[in-house]
Amino acid sequence: MPNDTGGSMLWRFSANNTHLYPGALLRSLDAPGESSLSAGDELMVEFSDGMAVSARLLQAEPDAAVLQLPMYRTQRNTTVAARTWRIVPGGEAGLMRVQKRLPTV
């Protein structure tokens, strides 16, 4: 179950790569529950190289959400620019798929 951080929730996800791109997968690390993603929620994304980044949901609907990811560095010290992504359900419980990159807000 995600943590309540005073009105917004903190969700934990793992990514299947060191960065996001259209088609990348995000798998929830939280136990399934009755809560759902909401605008303003924080996502702690752990990438495949072990680096973790705190991101924020700008919008959340049942069929899509907008994820704002800040600039970060991979374990190999590669800089990944801040990006905004549209994410959609990935076809199974707890799985989200990056659909496309959006203009950075």
Q: What is the pLDDT of residue 104?
A: 78
**Residues 6+ positions from 44 with CB-CB distance below 8 Å:** 10, 11, 12, 13, 52, 53, 54, 55
Point out the residues of the chain with pLDDT beneath 50.
Answer: none
pLDDT score for 62: 86
| Spatial contact of 87 and 15, defined as CB atoms under 8 Å apart | no
Q: Which two tokens stand for residue 2?
A: 């995600």
Express each pLDDT in 35-65 by its tens digit.
Answer: 788 999 999 999 999 999 999 999 999 899 9
Report the pLDDT value the prediction gives residue 8, as an integer from 0 to 100.
81
Structure tokens at 24: 């990348």
Give the predicted TM-score (pTM) of the model.
0.88
Tell me, what's the pLDDT at 90? 94
Which residues does 81 contact at the CB level (< 8 Å), separation at least 6? 71
